[in-house]
Structure 1
Amino acid sequence: MTRCRLCGSTALASVVDLGATPPCESFLAADELDRAEPAYPLHLRVCTDCWLAQIPPLITPEETFTQYAYFSSYSTSWVEHARTFVADAVQRLGLGPDSFVVEVASNDGYLLKHLVDREIRCLGIEPSVNVGAAARDAGVPTLTEFLAPATGAAVRAEHGPADLVVANNVYAHIPDVVGFTRGLRALVADDGWVSIEVQHLLTLMEENQYDTIYHEHFQYYTVASAIRALASGGLALVDVELLPTHGGSIRLWARPAEVAADPAPAVADVLAREKAAGLQELSGYAEFSARVAKVRRDLLRFLIEAADRGETVVGYGAPGKGNTLLNHCGIRPDLLPYTVDRNPYKHGRFTPGARIPILPPERIGVDKPDYVLVLPWNLRAELVEQLSFIHAWGGRLVFPIPELSIVEVKP
């Protein structure tokens, strides 16, 4: 990487180098285990001019998202998060039967189905063929496309401008930040709203959430860098919310620059927090790599010592972040014989790189392992409750992030 993808600067500084790994969602079928896997560098850098953190665009969105293994509806807490957002947005923006809402990267309709239930006209734009088909089967109108300015203009011409454009957990997934943002502007009405949720670089750094660095995530935002990214497409930030989702996210409320009011006080508050954390100077990034290395050492030490004691450890979940962790730590089936996942699409497949089998969740109750390593640590509250049944045989949960912790669950 030689230039920042947002401002074009060549002033890029290393934050952490995680080596080379396969794309995190490239799960393997059994008949693919003897084939070579491509691996790409996973090196996070930050632009010291606009402070956008980013990795090189070594894979294209088309390679990752044309067929996709992640279905949002399998997370109970995420579906509830979407339901609450829809209820709040309807009230905040006065949405009703005459309104039109577009969600970009709408996945399997997990969010828009709440608008369908309210009889509010909506459309999903979802590039993954298989996931979009699931949304349509659920009654959610869905267009199979990647968002670009031309896509936004075509949707606007056919359906009219959108009163609200939602882009949850996609703003990090596109290498062409400027083009995507212009696509959002093409979709939204001249007096409309754009709501974007994206992981907050501040909490990623503070909570050592390095496993959320993977090839699908091309950039990592602060509010300061998001303001500049939005401006590149003619949008202005008017409000921000701090969310607990994905370990710590920001919800950005933006409007076309021509109608945007002065930013709410929350924007200045978060900007001040980011500045105090040193995220607009290189010193704020200096210790991150050392803290990442400690996570690796602590987790490997735990797994090796458990194996030496004859204790069993299995995984729970097969999220993208889990594959960054497994590959960076060098964990293989001798230390983690399998992981389980609620998504049937992943059953019988193997994690990329580490080649760990993915089984149905019921396997945990059959094998009764001593420990369950939770890979989607961002769902901690949900999974502590979901996995409380392991108390029956004295099983315990292990969370690797932000630091290794072993939890005794209650029935």
Structure 2
Amino acid sequence: MKYVDEFRDGDKARNIAAQIRVEADPARTYNLMEFCGGHTHAIFRYGIPDLLPDNVKLIHGPGCPVCVLPIGRLDMAINLARRPDVILCTYGDMLRVPGSGRESLMKVRAEGTDVRMLYSPADAIKLAQQHPDKQVVFFAIGFETTTPPTALVLDQARKLGLDNFSVFCNHVLTPAAMHAILNTPEADNGALALDGFIGPAHVSTVIGSAPYEPFPQQYNRPVVIAGFEPLDVLQAILMLIRQLNEGRCEVENEFTRAVTRQGNLKAQAMVDRVFERRASFEWRGLGAIPESALQIRSEYAQFDAEKRFELEQLEGRENKACECPAILRGVKNPRDCKLFANPCTPDNPLGSCMVSSEGACAAYYSYGRHSESRIPVQEQRV
């Protein structure tokens, strides 16, 4: 994409919104889930709910990697960080997520442990080279978008023979979570009404559009892959409404400037060489999902932190008052949580959905969605 402003044109946005109002059948409700947390923030940043008719409902999905990581896995990372021989490094959002007893990596760093924020997995390789007397562990999280860089550094570590580098792998898979959502008890009993998906952008640049094809076939739910700009999201909503009105059910690609059906084959090959699917993995809010995450292949086992440190699988304790698990399933929104905005805020996060830059609670809080009333479309919005 060469330009950005053309995808934020206010007049074009209002034209698409007007077309949505014309084509949305007032006799029905359209319940559309944006899977990706990046879409959730774009939706509120640009005031898209204010442009839609009341019968077009946007449901927020579990597409935030920081949010879906279960507390037990975070507790394992905290235990690793407390080892005197370890430098634990990870992405910035992960530092402030509360674990059991409201501990976090930020808090254990304040105790004197060596926990570092990085912007790229390649920085972890440099740390290992600079500190040969320490064990450098990269706490890897993320969907398919961030998996190829982790695979690359694991391959690089093997070539370099870095015996003081390892990865605590927590990479998860988007289609598996979408299957899980459509098989939750709430989806079965009607508590979660879901008519279609706005498919993720960055993930789809890697995996392509083909992995979404089972959803129209098995569940009769259309998927439209969308970019992150306001015109992308509005166009995807219009495309879903048209499919539903016409009785069609298929995968469509609005984000054609970046996504193809086959995806990035080189990135996929790198991931397949280094990783394999886990039999099962625990997700916050969704429970154990079969083949929904990746683990490091045996050929790279010497760089697997779970094996190197013989990590014990832990079961973390959720804050009983926090509604993050239900929000991640799409059955509640942040305003349904009695902790939202008071006392849970970005400065005092009590749940993962308020910490992450892609979390639904952070989006609601950051863009003023504190009450049920609609807020006026402001000038900075489309």
User: TM-score, normalized by length of structure 1?
Assistant: 0.36
Looking at both structures, which has the greater relative contact order when contacts are Cα pairs under 8 Å and sequence separation is at least 6? 2
User: TM-score, normalized by length of structure 2?
Assistant: 0.38
